[in-house]
Structures are given as structure tokens and as C-alpha cells.
């Protein structure tokens, strides 16, 4: 509206200036806010794990030859007839890699499950009761932590004997303290909460309180650690087999196959393909573990993205 002053001008609202980086920031924000299971790495990890599980189940149908059949030329390079080549005694490397999934994946999942149950139970007891119980359990865990994991696993496997079963026991001995320490910390943080206090006032026993009240609230981080540990378990089992303390010949196991390849450097394919199998499994479980962590703890996910 004019004021009568010839020098005055009507000034309307200024047009909003476009921010050239707005679209880019919006795209980045949309990617950051994408659900964890829709992240590319998480989808890749799930796809790889499902693929290896299918291979482990149907290895006898997918493999062109039995794993220990000596049928081909010695140290034949990869070709159409021998997809991954043959080893030093004429066995098909491709078939042995497929059959190796039947050992590595189930054993790794089994030992992680056992270590998780033992460690989380002991850690929960230590955190809930405290006192001398806490001191004894955690000093034992500290004693295991005092040694490098692979060195202690080697010592235990060597003491028990060179067998795959003993290698699994050795990895369990090495793995349980991490679950004990994590569950103890979670229980210590939760035992003074209102729902635990209410359960005690209602007459709930200590064991019932831990099982009914505390277990659902500490399960998430423990399952994340277990998902990450499956890849480490595959790596440890393969390492023990590589050193001759795990699976024994002629068993088709990835670590022992890499060991055979290390003795035949000119035939690189003998150790290359089982090594790639170990690599893909470890990476896949790490991707899935990261996605689980982001899903169960969104605050940590946001901090990492920043």
C-alpha cells in the first residue's frame, strides 16, 4: 500500500533462494534414515548367508563329484571341466568347497550358540548377585582375556588332541568370556531399574527375575555380538584346521584346504577358492551384525553416520 511518499517503494516478500545443496542433503538424509535391513551391505550379507546355507543343505546335489573322489588329473588348473581345478591328488576343488560349507557353517553356529548360553548365563549371575560370585566369575573371564584368543585356542586344541571336535571346544573356551562381560554390564545397568525392583517386591525369585524381567531386555546386544562372532568362529576354526589342530585329512574343510594350497604355491587355486569362501562368510556375518546393531540401537547408528 502506498504511503504518498514519491520515494517510497512497496517491497513484497523476497522470494526464497534455492539452496543448491538441498537436494543432495535430502538424498543423503533419506539414505541415512533408510531402515537397517534396506541398507545395501545388510542385503548383501543376508544374500550371501542364504546362498551358503542353501549350498550347505544341497551340497550333495550341487557338487559334481564326491569330495574325496580321486578322478581327475593332478593339479589341473580351473577350466570348463574342473571349475575350481583339482588338487595334488586329483580331487575336485569345487566339490570340496561346497562340501566344506557343511562343516564350517553349522559348527560355527553351534559353538557360538553354546558360548553365548554359557557366557550370558555366567555374566548375568555375576551381575545380579555381585559379591564373591561376581569376583570369581569375572576373574576367570579376565584370566581367559589375558591370553590372545588364537594362542589360547591353539593351546587348548593341542592339549585335547588334533580333532575337529576338540577345535570346537577350544573356540568355545576362548569365546564365552566376551558374552559374560557384556551380559554382566547389561545386568548391572538394569538391576536397579523399576521393573526389577517391582518384581522383587512382588516376591519373584532371583532366577525368575533374571529369566522373565532381565532376559528380554539384555538379549538384543547379546544377539548382535553372536551374529558378529559367527564370522570370527569360522575364522578361528579354519585357522586351527590350517595349523593341523582341527579337521584332519581327507575331510573337506576350508581351513585344511587352504593349508593344502599353502604347500602347493604353484597351484594357487587349491587354496584360493576355499580362502574366498571364508572371506565371503566372515564379511556377510559382519554386515548382518552391523545391521542388527543399527536396528536395535538407533542412537549408535545415527552417531556412526554422523
Q: Which pLDDT belongs to residue 72?
A: 81
Q: Which fold has domain 38-305?
A: MetI-like fold (1.10.3720)
pLDDT tens digit at each of 306 positions of the chain: 445 554 444 555 545 554 444 444 445 445 444 566 677 888 999 999 999 999 999 999 999 999 998 888 898 899 888 899 999 899 999 999 999 999 999 999 999 999 999 999 999 999 888 889 999 999 999 999 988 888 889 899 888 888 888 999 999 999 999 999 999 998 888 887 777 778 777 777 777 887 877 888 888 889 888 988 998 999 999 999 998 888 888 889 999 999 998 888 888 999 999 999 999 999 999 999 888 887 776 554 444 444
Q: Model-level pTM greater than 0.85?
A: no
CA distance 211 to 285: 28
Looking up cell 580321486, which residue turns up? 70
d(CA 168, CA 253): 13
- Sequence-ordered list of residues with C-beta below 8 angstroms from that of 124, at least 6 positions apart, any chain: 183, 184, 187, 210, 214, 215, 218
> 294 near 118, Cβ under 8 Å?
no
d(CA 27, CA 90): 54
Q: Can you give the residue ranges of every domain in the chain? A: 38-305
Query: DSSP class of residue 79?
Result: -
- C-alpha torsion sign, points 274, 276, 277, 278: positive
Task: Report how far residue 183's alpha carbon sits from residue 302's, in angstroms, rounded to the nearest whole number.
Answer: 24
| String of DSSP letters for 153-182 | HHHHHHHH-SSHHHHHHHHHHHHHHHHHHH
Give me the pLDDT at residue 71, please. 85
pLDDT at 17: 52
Give the per-residue pLDDT at 294: 79
Cα distance between residue 306 and residue 301, in whole Å: 9
Residue 30's pLDDT is 52
Amino acid at each position: 500500500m502506498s504511503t504518498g511518499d514519491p520515494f517510497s517503494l512497496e517491497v513484497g516478500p523476497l522470494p526464497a533462494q534455492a539452496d543448491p545443496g538441498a537436494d543432495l542433503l535430502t538424498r543423503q538424509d533419506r539414505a541415512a534414515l533408510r531402515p537397517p535391513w534396506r541398507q545395501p551391505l545388510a542385503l548383501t550379507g543376508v544374500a550371501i548367508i542364504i546362498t551358503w546355507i542353501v549350498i550347505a543343505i544341497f551340497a550333495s546335489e550341487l557338487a559334481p563329484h564326491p569330495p574325496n573322489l580321486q578322478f581327475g588329473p593332478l593339479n589341473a588348473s580351473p577350466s570348463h571341466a574342473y571349475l575350481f581345478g583339482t588338487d595334488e591328488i586329483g580331487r575336485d576343488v569345487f566339490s570340496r568347497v561346497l562340501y566344506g560349507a557343511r562343516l564350517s557353517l553349522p559348527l560355527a553356529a553351534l559353538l557360538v550358540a553354546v558360548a553365548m548360553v554359557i557366557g550370558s548365563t555366567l555374566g548375568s549371575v555375576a551381575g545380579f548377585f555381585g559379591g564373591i560370585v561376581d569376583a570369581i566369575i569375572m576373574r576367570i573371564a579376565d584370566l581367559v582375556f589375558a591370553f590372545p584368543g588364537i594362542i589360547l585356542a591353539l593351546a587348548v586344541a593341542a592339549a585335547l588332541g588334533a580333532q575337529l571336535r576338540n577345535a570346537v571346544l577350544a573356540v568355545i573356551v576362548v569365546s564365552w568370556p566376551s558374552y559374560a562381560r557384556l551380559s554382566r554390564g547389561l545386568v548391572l545397568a538394569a538391576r536397579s531399574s523399576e521393573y526389577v525392583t517391582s518384581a522383587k517386591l512382588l516376591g519373584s525369585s532371583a532366577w525368575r527375575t533374571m529369566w522373565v524381567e532381565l532376559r528380554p531386555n539384555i538379549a538384543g546386544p547379546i544377539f548382535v555380538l553372536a551374529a558378529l562372532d559367527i564370522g570370527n568362529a569360522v575364522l578361528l576354526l579354519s585357522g586351527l584346521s590350517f595349523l593341523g589342530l582341527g579337521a584332519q585329512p581327507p575331510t573337506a574343510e576350508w581351513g585344511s584346504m587352504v593349508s593344502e594350497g599353502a604347500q602347493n604355491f604353484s597351484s594357487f587355486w587349491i587354496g584360493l577358492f576355499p580362502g574366498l569362501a571364508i572371506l565371503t562368510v566372515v564379511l556377510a556375518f559382519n554386515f548382518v551384525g552391523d545391521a542388527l546393531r543399527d536396528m536395535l540401537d538407533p542412537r549408535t547408528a545415527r552417531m556412526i553416520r554422523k
